[in-house]
Structure 1
């Protein structure tokens, strides 16, 4: 059985939402590595979670984000914290070929394995079309299956962070705008 690699991003203040997403993923899968990119969630939280999962085939990884790497990123909405831009760092911080990024407020209600099989080696990512945007060609950056190998080769994460810094006054929807406009 192939293990799935799933990444979430957040800070300690968003821990309840992160854990809700984690529980929904674990409920529907038998072997998952979940990487939580964060600047401030204590290691003890991860130790307790993994202790509870000791009899399962799951593992939750504490991936620290250096907030200095995200300096200069911002959004026009205060509700969007700059830690969300760490999603663009996933391929650099998570040593996997394919990683599914989920916003930390997503509830998984089924098996994600078929999604992983859809990503072609030449694809940069797979994402769902944004349904609430007036712009037809927008995709929802809250659920992105990344070809991490390609992202690393192209240094796409750094390019997206540079775009976020250079255009921060224009980022109506933060990371969503960056992902769609780059």
Structure 2
């Protein structure tokens, strides 16, 4: 089974911690790890590589592919265009067959992944976990209706996707999802809406332990008790990430334990001010790269 993720300059640290957790909790079920990078420089790639203690890892730059397919697609206040990367992965790995497990870079692997490698996918191209919006029926229905789905239809979170590469290609899903995104330029949840709108419930539901996520308010979880220890994959959704000084996520201690085994072990936690500054710098870097590609046919890694 291939494990893949996607990152840009804003999420290098989170990706490094994900890779450390992957190395710590998995074994022979993982044949290959692929990190798709959107304008991530050599130094940051080296930091991520140092966080993963095995040699079955590769880094693939997809900046030009992202620009070609999704350069005009909108992004929102906390999602970058790398959110669309999972749609391209089956096309960018044409020789790969079998299973691909896509995980967002703000996840932690907390248990072996062998059960997913051997799962009967029942001829579905995608297996995933219901989005947390299911806990709010009105919110769930509104999200579905906004993309043309029946209000009660199941809607998955795209942060963890188990993909049957052969079935995905047979159904031409990359092309269909990209067409859906092009026809719906204002998707609130971007790629997640495009995937759900295209598949229309034709996917296999996984137990939530494979993508345990809950909505936090200002970095704090105040909902019903959740057994984070039992989760196989922990997903830190929302704007407040576990490497932020103001994060109080119940599973943050696990994140910090894996972070201690990466080159970011001694890095300062991000504050609100430092995040604002970094956000403005990244915005300028993206504009610089875009302008270089458009006007000069160049573009430096941001």
TM-score by length of 1: 0.84
Query: Taking structure 1 as reference, are residues 52 and 8 closer, same or farther at Cα in structure 2, changes over 3 Å only?
Result: closer
Query: Taking structure 1 as reference, are residues 173 and 15 closer, same or farther at Cα in structure 2, changes over 3 Å only?
Result: same
Residue of structure 2 equivalent to 1:81: 80
Instruction: Flag as ranges the 4+ runs of structure 1 deviating above 3 A.
Output: 43-53
Q: Indicate the larger mover: 5-14 or 32-41.
A: 32-41
User: Which of 196, 200, 207 matches 1:180?
Assistant: 196
Contact 1:102 1:143 in 2 (8 A): yes
CA shift at 1:163, angstroms?
1.1
Contact 1:5 1:34 in 2 (8 A): yes
Contact 2:3 2:101 in 1 (8 A): yes
Give the superposed CA RMSD: 2.2
The size of the alignment, in residue pairs, is 175
SS of residue paired to 2:195: helix
- Structure 1 residues 72-91: Cα deviation after superposition (integer angstroms, max 9, x where no partner): 3224x232112210110111
SS of residue paired to 2:188: coil
The question of 1:128 aligning with 2:144 is answered no
Contact 1:91 1:152 in 2 (8 A): yes
CA shift at 1:69, angstroms?
2.1
Contact 1:7 1:37 in 2 (8 A): yes
- Give the Cα–Cα distance (whole angstroms) in 2 for the partners of residues 51 and 81 of structure 1: 25
The question of 1:10 aligning with 2:7 is answered yes
The structure with the largest strand share of the pair is 1
Query: Taking structure 1 as reference, are residues 106 and 62 closer, same or farther at Cα in structure 2, changes over 3 Å only?
Result: same
Q: Which runs of 5+ in 2 are unaligned?
A: 141-151, 199-302
SS of residue paired to 1:132: helix
CA shift at 1:39, angstroms?
2.0
- Give the Cα–Cα distance (whole angstroms) in 2 for the partners of residues 143 and 27 of structure 1: 19
Residue of structure 2 equivalent to 1:20: 17
Residue of structure 1 equivalent to 2:237: none
The question of 1:153 aligning with 2:170 is answered yes
Q: Indicate the larger mover: 118-127 or 40-49.
A: 40-49
- Structure 1 residues 24-70: Cα deviation after superposition (integer angstroms, max 9, x where no partner): 111111243211112212345445655776xx654221112122222
1:26-175 matched pairs, under 5 angstroms:
26-31=23-28, 32=30, 33-46=32-45, 50=49, 57-65=54-62, 66=64, 67-75=67-75, 77-94=76-93, 95-97=95-97, 98-120=99-121, 122-133=123-134, 134=137, 135=140, 136=152, 137-169=154-186, 171-175=187-191
